[in-house]
Amino acid sequence: MNQGKYVFSQIMESVVRYKFNQCVDRYDGGKRIRSFSCWEQFLSLAFGQLSFRKSLRDIVVCLESHPKQLYHAGFRSRVNLATLADANEKRDWRIYRDYATILIEEARTLYAYDASFSLEIDGAVYAVDSTTIELSLALFPWAKLKKIRAAVKLNMGIELHGNIPSFFSLSSGKIHDVFFLDEIEYENNAIYIVDRGYIDFERLHRMHSNSAYFVTRAKDNLSFRRLYSHSVDKDTGVRCDQTILLNGYYVAKDYPKKLWRVKYYDAETKRTYIFLTNNFELEAITIAALYKQRWQIELFFKWVKQHLSIESFWGRSANAVKTQICVAISSYLLVAILKKKLHINRNSYEILQILSISMFEKIPITELIFKAPEPISEDSVQKQAELWEF
């Protein structure tokens, strides 16, 4: 089916053009544009992500060295450095955010029954966290964090069935993580795993009121009143199982419902953890196992920073930075969708490495990836890649 098509074109086939165009029209992205459309801007930036380019100049030089192939890849005008830079500065970044959201829905459908999540839990399970992307204050004064620092924050929730980004937002590094909870549309019976930085009992009660569940770690100064104690099997690591109510006039007013408090000893780390949840249907040991799964989002952030271009930015304005991050997420999702549709049984690190040097080869992607030899030895980067797979 893909005989005679370039590898880059095969990847971009997952993009539904009329949906992409709807995103463009929503923000008047095509207004007063005679050449180099938003689609060509997306293609250029996605090519930069997938081929590990470090700058806009790198992208332009690589694309211009393949003039005959560009037409078949979807380009209808010449890729010019000044034009590409101007597009990143001026075209609304929300176009690419909205299209990333469309790709998220497609990827979530494909990975809904992925077997990589080991816990048998009905409903969606999300790990929610943020990562701070450091910027140069001299180059990005709009992102000032402190006197000598600048940063932008990527807030995200990933669905642990397949480790697929499910919702995200971009904010200033100054904005506290807990405000991201105000942007989430909670799903019935879904479980949201958050760390202690997201503890705000008024917001957690709002999640409870929307028939969603949370799992988090209790703060050391938590004041509560024990209602019931339940028997535990200490061989599992569970040390305490209690139903509680919060103490304090304002805290109890923010969260007037019962909570489940689980104390767990992890023999591997030799540390004791205390978890809070509003889900009374699971076993205590499952609550501990769920919180441990939260580290998948930490691995995801680490992997993205290592293998996608969001550490060195291709523009200095807030619009250019946000555009690049959104296209980076879209590029990741396109590979994830391709992997599932083609039933590719290799990890994401290997797939991206193979694709990055083959963008303008005419070969079916399945043949390209399956004929590539398995790595004989694994360095530290490869070992990290295997901790997290699509």
pLDDT band at 387 (very low <50, low <70, confident <90, very high): very low
Report the CATH architecture of 115-298. Answer: Alpha-Beta Complex (3.90)
- Can you say whether the dihedral through the CA atoms of 379, 380, 384, 385 is positive or negative? negative
Reported confidence tier of residue 116, pLDDT bands at 50, 70, 90? low
Q: Average pLDDT of 83-91?
A: 94
Helix (H, G, I), strand (E, B) or coil at 266: strand
**Integer Cα distance of 21 and 24 in angstroms:** 5
214 Cβ neighbours under 8 A, 6+ residues apart? 191, 192, 193, 194, 204, 207, 208, 276, 277, 278, 279
Strands of 271-277's sheet in order across: 164-172, 150-159, 125-135, 191-193, 213-217, 271-277, 259-266, 238-246, 224-229
Q: How far apart are CA 189 and CA 208, in angstroms?
A: 10
Residue 146 has pLDDT above 80, yes or no: no
Statement: residue 49 has pLDDT above 70:
yes
**What separation in angstroms does the CA of 49 have from each of 57, 236, 286, 293, 334?**
13, 44, 38, 28, 11
Three-state DSSP at 343 gives coil
Average pLDDT, integer, range 24-30: 93
Radius of gyration of the chain (CA): 23
Query: In angstroms, rounded to a whole number, what is the distance separating the alpha carbons of residues 8 and 163?
Result: 24
Closest of 259, 190, 172 to residue 219, by C-alpha: 259
The reported pTM is 0.82
HSE toward the beta carbon, residue 349, CA cutoff 13 A: 20
Higher pLDDT, 42 or 348: 42
pLDDT at 307 over 80: no
What is the residue-averaged pLDDT of the chain?
A: 87
Question: In this predicted model, what pLDDT tens digit does every residue of 225-271 receive, in sequence order?
Answer: 999 999 988 888 999 999 999 998 899 999 999 999 999 999 888 89
What average pLDDT does this structure show over 89-97? 95
Residues 6+ apart with CB under 8 A from 148: 137
Enumerate the β-bridge partners of residue 315.
none
Percent over 90 (pLDDT), the chain: 49
pLDDT attached to residue 120: 78
Using 50, 70 and 90 to split pLDDT, how confident is the model at 115? low
Structure tokens at 38: 């938003």
Q: Which of 1-5, 12-16, 378-382 has the highest mean pLDDT?
A: 12-16
- Cα dihedral 69, 74, 76, 80, rounded to 10, equals -70
Length of the chain: 390
3 compared with 333, residue with greater pLDDT: 333
pLDDT value at position 390? Answer: 34
Structural domain spans, the chain = 7-95+316-387, 115-298
